[in-house]
Chains A and B, each alone.
Chain A
Amino acid sequence: DTAVSQTPKYLVTQMGNDKSIKCEQNLGHDTMYWYKQDSKKFLKIMFSYNNKELIINETVPNRFSPKSPDKAHLNLHINSLELGDSAVYFCASSQDRASSEQYFGPGTRLTVT
Chain B
Amino acid sequence: AQSVTQLDSQVPVFEEAPVELRCNYSSSVSVYLFWYVQYPNQGLQLLLKYLSGSTLVKGINGFEAEFNKSQTSFHLRKPSVHISDTAEYFCAVSEGYSSASKIIFGSGTRLSIRP
A interface residues, Cβ below 8 angstroms from B: 4, 31, 40-45, 48, 50, 55-56, 90, 92, 94, 97-107
Given contacts A42-B108, A98-B98, A102-B103, contact A90 B44 (CB under 8 A): yes
Residue of A nearest to B93 (CB): A100
Q: Return the contact of A45 from the options B51, B88, B103 (Cβ within 8 A).
A: B103
A-B contacts, 5 listed (Cβ < 8 Å): A40-B107, A42-B107, A50-B100, A92-B44, A104-B45
Residue from B88, B105, B107, B110 whose CB has the most chain A CB atoms within 10 Å: B105
Additional A-B contact list (20), CB under 8 Å, known A41-B107, A97-B99: A40-B107, A41-B108, A42-B105, A43-B44, A43-B108, A45-B102, A45-B103, A48-B100, A48-B101, A50-B100, A55-B100, A90-B43, A90-B44, A100-B51, A100-B94, A101-B34, A103-B46, A104-B36, A104-B45, A106-B43
Given contacts A40-B107, A41-B107, contact A98 B101 (CB under 8 A): yes
CB-based contact B100/A56 at 8 Å: yes
B-side contacts of A42, CB under 8 Å = 105, 107-108
**Chain B residues bordering chain A, tally (CB within 8 A):** 26
